[in-house]
Amino acid sequence: MTDTLSVAAPRRVLLGISGGIAAYKVCSVISSLAKEGVAVRVALTQQGQAFIPPLAVATLSRHPAYTDETFWQATQGRPLHIDLGEWAELLVIAPLSANTLGKLTHGLADNLLTNTVLASTCPVLLAPAMNTDMWQQQAVQRNWHQLLQDARYHSLEPGSGVLACDRVGTGRMAEPDDILTHVHSLLHTGGKRDLVGKHLLISTGSTREYLDPVRFIGNPASGKMGIALAQAAIHRGATVTLVHGPLDDSLKARLGGIQAVGVTTAEEMHRAMLTHLPQADWVVMAAAVADVKPATQVVTKLAKADLPEALPLAQVPDIVADLAQKRSPHQRLIGFAAQTGDIIAPALDKLQRKGLDAIVANPIDVAGSGFGGDRNQAVLLTRLGDKLAIPPCTKLSLAHQLWNALLKAKF
């Protein structure tokens, strides 16, 4: 399977903009999708045009924008809302206003956007944005929860912060990066929620084993692969607990909707994984855990002259082996093996030696793969001998391909 955005036929996303100052954020979403080769069409409500002009989104999407004026004055052979509804494989409404939310909930259609929603069958991603008091109104919350009972609709809950009205509270539209990630997920899955009912426990990132407060043994693992696995699983309906090592702020911002447990050392990760193991159906050990730690740690910084010429080392817990021993028969355990050179033989050895159900081998000595980057490649191996090679792609695409394969695998 190739990366979703690299296939010959461009993917098709229809983006609807309703009234709200958050409309300015959507410009970067439109621009990013267009640059990636996605065919983007934009439909603005009359209220949406008050915040962003059609010319702006037309320029960013490389295609004329659609408005109610276009709708009512259309002269083409087929109604515009029918053409758009059949064309789109994903519909995104951002920002979603209280007014448009109410119309969608009750099946009302009095403009181009709402008519197009009713004339389509594709998944719909909703990103609400409004004042806190508006969002918290019982009628709005009732509409929101009622609409989400329809499997077509996928949600990006509003966040908290300073709003355009200077109020601090819930109502901020999801950030462009979050919208883009969810868009890519829905293009992969077609809106399937095939992980509903599963609780996934995932580890990610590196651990740090400190000699003193400023020096530690570690590795370059960023945590991006595990976060991509967690995001893809959440978008497919799973409940996810993510145990992660130290993350930078940009990665922490990607943890919305995920139960995140931050740790630093291998011993802390060991405790956290065992604590959350009983609730998990699948356990994915994607973290790059240190193998050893300094035999002694000091609480104050060592002077350079006091650093030992030879550093005595001690073993850290073998987390994945311990998980394999303590798991229940129904639980599935998937490991990762970051390797240089031959990635298959060491991964197969680890698969058998650790008692895993499957392992993901990925090269860290190949350009565009491994630690720190946004792309990766891998080979999935199962204990029954199945083998799936996944060519270079985004880490989110790799995550979805792994979930696809694991859902079909016989363990």
Confidence (pLDDT) at 6: 41
Structural domain boundaries of the chain? 4-189, 199-408
Two tokens at 234?
Answer: 């959440």
pTM: 0.93
Topology of domain 4-189, CATH = Rossmann fold (3.40.50)
pLDDT in tens, 223-241: 999 999 999 999 999 999 9
Confidence (pLDDT) at 74: 58
Cβ neighbors of 312 (< 8 A, separation 6 or more) are 294, 295, 296
pLDDT in tens, 57-66: 999 999 999 9
Tokens 């970067």 sit on residue: 28
Confidence (pLDDT) at 201: 98
| Domain 199-408 architecture | 3-Layer(aba) Sandwich (3.40)
Confidence (pLDDT) at 2: 35
Whether the CB-CB separation of 242 and 260 falls below 8 Å is answered with yes
Low-confidence stretches of the chain (pLDDT < 50) are: 1-7
Confidence (pLDDT) at 75: 58
Q: What count of residues does the chain have?
A: 411
Identical fold between 4-189 and 199-408: yes
Select from 228, 252, 222 the least CA-distant residue to 240.
228
Confidence (pLDDT) at 4: 40
Give 57-100 as a DSSP string: HHHHHTS--B-HHHHHT--SSS-HHHHHHHH-SEEEEEEEPHHH
Confidence (pLDDT) at 163: 72
Confidence (pLDDT) at 59: 97
Confidence (pLDDT) at 256: 87
Annotated active-site residue 27? The verdict is no
